[in-house]
Chain A
């Protein structure tokens, strides 16, 4: 499926060589190594525990006081599914209505195309300074690097994004990019970058950032944002923020570019009301976020503020293929971050260990969508399948089931390592042969004999050490239940 109309400006941008040269973060450690490293990072552990605990508590509290929440979540899920069933229709409608309001719509099949489209808009407008609102889509295509590479300055205006830009890092959470940093670390960072004393007080830090950013807003030629939703029947781009920076980015510079995944389109304003009631509640535990910014077209002749040019970039980048794929449900995602906050794995390792744009449970699915199943060979197992994510997801995405399906794919396509595949297949074979299976216990008793003390095993060599390094293992019983049954049957 390719929406016909939005391709209209596809011929516009021409790919230049430098647009495709991007500095990918160099990371030589494997995922299990990164994850293990993260569990040893004391500051990270402290920052994650504080932030995720607060998010989860607020979310639970606000939903407990919101009995209609469950029905609204069901409704939101139905709307998402209905959109996916007629995605091209809604994208065409959105395009027509954005254009009617005076905006331009572009369709990008790949990340590269999306970068090229945005660079082209910036060059045509002789842009020097860009202010940005928080956008995971922009992170997904490494937009900042591309713009900077082309000689433009980019200023992040969301406080969290500003912090990680100062630190030359990448976001580690979908809605709280700097969640991995403690207050004290942020104060140190500001002190170093701004060359002055900074107290570890969120208010002081915020005031400092605001002061710096105010200048940028006034000087910027172009604003770039993502979009939480785009309403098809009105052509409205919707931004949900807590800092009001979204409003400034979309109204002060001459040009506004909004970049979004194609799945973010929703049919109508009535639907928007449903999503807004569950989005902030799931994300931060707020009833509504502080700012909901609705953008419809560029500045009209009678208006005093707003950009002269408005562009909406609709990006596929692997999404459309999943309309008929196993990851379809992941396209419902509102990017609220709730599944990260409750995930026991995310809570131990944070976002960077996942190694790609989108962390957490949904991030594993997104990484599979963007990079293919082989890219999640290890990540697909970064879940105990506890089900906490599915329980809090506002659109009830069954993430654990999809992770299991990804794992199935890893076996079927022979991507999983062969020793593992051999082991599991041998187990499967054995479980079908009870007579042989009964020999497992006596054999295990022989093998474990040198290691057992008081019925427990405290240390085992090689692979088994992965368990016994931190946990005792019960010894295989002197007599299994099966071996005790005959005597037990006689008791009756």
Chain B
């Protein structure tokens, strides 16, 4: 990387309130890779929870005001696959009625990256130092895997971390049971799905469970903590040295 790339962080609502250390880790990591990072003011939430629950008028308004915030951004990095999916796959459609806004949303969609994708597919970085040693396992978030078709980038990063052994999680591609408001609309069902996921996590013998989505981390991390498990749920960025 010679010419300095500019990347804006879309921190997302969960990232902002519950996992600020993930955002901090991303900023420091990207800077060390020679990327100029900024944080456009006025960010709230991408509107995915509204959209998925059927509140499309409200989601449309969120999209309408979020897109221009990143007008000047060369690239946008998002710590959650689901929010990246929202921006890339749903914003253009939501703003289809307004030709100008639609065009701008399409442009933003093309410039938006989930973190692991930015690292591997845009920056071409695969070898990174690690803050932890030992065995880790990876959970595929539904929106990153099936929404954005991305299974490889996070694994590429993890496989190349020094001192880290990536063990495949049996049923890695199965939902963790979060699903946004689903987790509280049908809490018993959500928990039953989670229990199976966590049993699988514990079967790997990994010390770290890595995911690229704040929602899944909230669900799986919350479940692991409640069980008193020694496995920690962490965001990919938190593994990469120089984090928070």
A residues bordering B, Cβ < 8 Å? 32, 35-36, 39-40, 45, 344-345, 347-349, 380-388, 390-391, 404-411, 416, 424-425, 427-432, 434, 437, 440-441, 444, 456, 458, 463, 466-467, 469-477, 479-485, 488-489, 491-492
Contact = CB atoms under 8 A, between A and B. Distances in A.
B50 A427 contact: yes
A407 B54 contact: yes
Contact of A424 (B36, B55, B61): B55
Interface of chain B: mostly helix, strand, loop or mixed? helix
23 contacts: A39-B188, A347-B193, A348-B193, A383-B179, A384-B142, A384-B175, A384-B190, A385-B142, A410-B54, A411-B53, A411-B54, A416-B54, A425-B58, A427-B50, A428-B50, A431-B45, A432-B61, A434-B44, A441-B17, A458-B226, A469-B187, A470-B223, A482-B16
Contacts of B41: 434
B146 A387 contact: yes
Interface string B145-170: 01100000000000000000000000
The 6 closest A-B pairs by CB, nearest first: A384-B179, A428-B58, A407-B54, A471-B222, A386-B175, A387-B146
Nearest to A428: B58
A387 B175 CA distance: 9
B189 A348 contact: yes
A492 B39 CA distance: 13
Given A386-B142, A427-B58, 16 more contacts: A45-B192, A344-B174, A384-B142, A424-B50, A424-B53, A424-B55, A429-B58, A470-B223, A472-B221, A472-B222, A473-B218, A474-B221, A476-B17, A480-B16, A482-B11, A492-B31
A481 B16 contact: yes
B189 A485 contact: no
Contacts of B192: 39, 45, 348
Given A32-B185, A404-B54, A428-B58, A471 B226 contact: yes
B92 to A, nearest CB: 15
B37 interface: yes
B55 A387 contact: no
B43 interface: yes
A484 B185 CA distance: 33
Interface stretch (B18-26, B98-106, B109-117): B18-26
Contacts of A479: 20
Interface string B22-61: 0110011001000011110111110101111111111101
A58 to B, nearest CB: 16
B184 A463 contact: yes
Contacts of A477: 17-21
Nearest to B18: A474
A402 to B, nearest CB: 12
Most chain B C-beta atoms within 10 Å of own C-beta, residue among A405, A408, A430, A485: A485
B189 A345 contact: yes
Given A35-B189, A434-B42, A474 B146 contact: no
Contacts of B61: 428, 432
Most chain B C-beta atoms within 10 Å of own C-beta, residue among A463, A481, A483, A492: A481
Nearest to A434: B42
Interface of chain A: mostly helix, strand, loop or mixed? helix
A428 B62 contact: yes
A441 B17 CA distance: 7
Most chain B C-beta atoms within 10 Å of own C-beta, residue among A416, A441, A488: A488
B146 A386 contact: yes
A425 B115 CA distance: 30
A303 to B, nearest CB: 51
Contacts of B16: 441, 480-482
A434 B43 contact: yes
Nearest to B36: A492
Most chain B C-beta atoms within 10 Å of own C-beta, residue among A406, A416, A434: A434
Contacts of A475: 18
Contact of A480 (B20, B183, B189, B221): B20
B131 interface: no
A32 B182 CA distance: 11
A381 B186 contact: yes
A481 B188 contact: no
A39 B193 CA distance: 10
Contacts of A469: 187
A408 B56 contact: yes
A434 B62 CA distance: 11
B175 A344 contact: yes
A474 B19 contact: yes
Most chain A C-beta atoms within 10 Å of own C-beta, residue among B41, B179, B192: B192
Contact of A36 (B21, B182, B188, B219): B188
B178 interface: yes
Given A432-B61, A471-B223, A466 B51 contact: no
Nearest to B145: A387
A408 B219 CA distance: 25
A93 B180 CA distance: 48
B96 interface: no
A489 B55 contact: no
A440 B65 CA distance: 19
Nearest to B215: A384
A348 B55 CA distance: 27
B58 A424 contact: yes
